[in-house]
């Protein structure tokens, strides 16, 4: 369970989130397995982990974009799974997404002004003139020229297209932005500009971010708290400063050691993660990390550790060494 940074109720609270995809011969792929998440107003919570660990599925499940197959999500105390379709549509206005590929998330045949206005049109907000004015203001707030509303996505650079996607995401003045690898498709030189924009918008609009990334350097600079996922489970969470300075879980330790160091562009020698992430279709028994864990003990092969005191590892459990 998450540790509250402040004495306040979470803006979004997810409990026991599980997401199964049916695959052939009656088998299920468990992309997310019994994950709890608390998101507090005004913070940026990052979910990190290697590709295929379930972080995108978890983010889509807690934002109800793809409702989970198990568990509950409360947004400002209201359980999303209990809402009618109409109530859910209203509630989901508060959670907007920014995806990795801005080109893929924009209709190539739709002028960008129309794309930004679309959420307002769908929710019948304002008159046509008010929507036009709002789009111009949104374009400006993300650093684009309002005069460019009639241009098409392909006429913009990758960074500009992500700015358009961000303008569209904030059009409904949501409380939460779920940003799924929002800069990983961009040139490194553009990444920091887009991150700075997100940071400025967060301050200006009082936004809360759920930030999905495999890039620990970005997470370290952008997030307040971090949840580390491995094969569908959260294995460690805490304040970014604690987790990065004093990682406790062997997977977190390996992940941080394997990440390029700022200003060095290289990894700690000999510390890179060994082997590949196992298949979610056939996860290892016990602790799913045990085949790659340098300090695994017998118990790890048969018994899955629970998340206790923000870490899921037998060695850090009561009675562990």
CB of 311 to ligand SF4, least distance (A): 9
**232 binds ligand SF4 per the rule CB under 6 A:** no
CB of 233 to ligand SF4, least distance (A): 11
Q: Pick from 55, 161, 233, 290: which binds ligand SF4 (CB under 6 A)?
A: 290
What 3-state DSSP class applies to 221? helix
44-48/208-213 β-pairing:
parallel
Q: How many residues bind ligand SF4 (CB under 6 A)?
A: 13
CB of 300 to ligand SF4, least distance (A): 3
Q: Pick from 182, 238, 250, 283: which binds ligand SF4 (CB under 6 A)?
A: 250
Quickly count helices (H) and strands (E) in the chain: 10, 10
Q: Pick from 62, 186, 194, 287: which binds ligand SF4 (CB under 6 A)?
A: 287
Residue 34 burial (CB count, 10 A): 17
| 279 CB burial (10 A radius; 0-12, 13-18, 19+) | exposed
The CA-to-CA distance between both ends of the chain, in Å, stands at: 22
Choose the binding region for ligand SF4 from 61-69, 186-194, 266-274, 282-290 (rule: CB under 6 A).
282-290
Closest to 49 in 3D by CA, of 280, 229, 252, 290? 229
Q: Pick from 295, 306, 308, 309: which binds ligand SF4 (CB under 6 A)?
A: 295
Distance of alpha carbon 121 from alpha carbon 95, whole angstroms? 17
CB of 304 to ligand SF4, least distance (A): 8
**296 binds ligand SF4 per the rule CB under 6 A:** yes
Q: Could you please report the per-residue DSSP string of 131-170?
A: HHHHHHHHHHHTT--GGGGGS-GGGS-HHHHHHHHHHHHH
Stretch 130-159 residues interacting with ligand SF4 (CB under 6 A):
none
**47 binds ligand SF4 per the rule CB under 6 A:** no
Q: Pick from 68, 159, 238, 305: which binds ligand SF4 (CB under 6 A)?
A: 305
Distance of alpha carbon 287 from alpha carbon 266, whole angstroms? 29
Interface residues toward ligand SF4, by CB under 6 A: 249-250, 287, 289-290, 293, 295-296, 300, 305, 313-315
């Amino acid at each position: 369970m998450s540790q509250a940074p402040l004495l306040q109720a979470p803006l979004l609270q997810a409990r026991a989130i599980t997401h199964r995809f049916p695959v052939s011969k009656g088998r299920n792929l468990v992309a997310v397995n019994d994950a709890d998440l608390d998101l507090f107003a005004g913070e940026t919570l990052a979910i990190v982990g290697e590709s295929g660990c379930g972080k995108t599925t978890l983010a889509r499940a807690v934002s109800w974009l793809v409702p989970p197959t198990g568990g509950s999500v409360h947004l400002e105390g209201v359980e999303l799974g209990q809402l009618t379709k109409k109530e859910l549509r209203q509630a989901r206005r508060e959670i907007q997404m920014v995806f990795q590929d801005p080109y893929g998330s924009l209709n190539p045949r739709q002028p960008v002004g129309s794309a930004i206005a679309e959420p307002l049109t769908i929710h019948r907000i304002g008159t046509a003139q008010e929507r036009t004015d709002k789009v111009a203001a949104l374009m400006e707030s993300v650093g684009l020229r309002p005069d460019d509303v009639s241009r098409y996505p392909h006429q913009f650079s990758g960074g500009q297209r992500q700015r358009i996607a961000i303008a569209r995401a904030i059009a409904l003045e949501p409380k939460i932005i779920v940003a799924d690898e929002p800069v990983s498709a961009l040139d490194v030189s553009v990444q920091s500009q887009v991150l700075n924009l997100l940071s400025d918008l967060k301050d200006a609009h009082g936004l809360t971010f759920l930030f999905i990334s495999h890039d620990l350097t970005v997470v370290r600079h952008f997030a307040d708290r971090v949840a580390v996922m491995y094969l569908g489970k959260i294995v460690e969470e805490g304040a970014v400063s604690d987790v990065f300075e004093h990682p406790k879980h062997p997977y977190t330790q390996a992940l941080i050691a394997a990440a390029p160091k700022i200003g060095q562009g290289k990894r700690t020698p000999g510390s890179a993660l060994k082997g590949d992430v196992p298949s979610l279709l056939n996860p290892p028994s016990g602790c799913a990390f045990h085949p790659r864990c340098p300090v695994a003990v017998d118990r790890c092969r048969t018994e899955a550790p629970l998340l206790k005191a923000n870490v899921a590892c037998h060695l850090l459990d009561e009675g562990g060494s």
